[in-house]
Amino acid sequence: RQEHGPMKTFVSHSHAQADDADALALALRGAGHEAVLDRDFVKGSDEYHAALRDAIQSADLFIFLISPESVRKGCFAQSEVEFARQRWNNPMGRVLSVMWVPTPLDDVPQYLKASTILQPSGNAVAETVARVTDLARARARRRMLQALGGVGAIAVAGAAGVTWWPD
């Protein structure tokens, strides 16, 4: 039973982690989430960069697989981080950085360090999917509370209406 709505994710990685990103995307999809990778678009086409940026802009969550290659200057994943920054000024709850391959923290962009970095102790795919599912549940709870808050406001307004508008 799924207690959360699907989380639309974009998985950013270096070319060296392409197989790992594929495994993560498959696992995310298996858990009921949407997962988008850069190779879901035709490279070299005029629309590639625009489609990639649109995918990040429409995502609920940006997942970044940290590795020495992905944080290297000139890696296209750094452009994807910039697209995420344009989408979310504050990465908290919107960007999930995962220490996929041990990488010095000094090499990791500040934006990615602004929220907690997931440091898997076992299977990185399983732990990342679990964190995404937790984030989706928290998002669903927030939405439910916001909806209930709206219902409460309507009830209070209705009660006030009865008080202020006698027959």
pLDDT in tens, the chain (167 residues): 455 678 999 999 999 999 999 999 999 999 999 999 988 876 776 788 888 999 999 999 999 999 999 999 999 999 999 999 999 999 999 999 999 999 999 999 999 999 989 999 999 999 999 999 999 998 888 777 777 765 554 554 454 444 444 44
Strand runs labelled E in 4-94? 8-12, 34-37, 61-66
pLDDT of the residue at 81: 96
In sequence order, the 6+-apart residues with CB closer than 8 A to the CB of 150 are none
Contact indicator for 11, 132 with CB cutoff of 8 Å: no
pTM over 0.85? The answer is no
Contact indicator for 84, 49 with CB cutoff of 8 Å: no
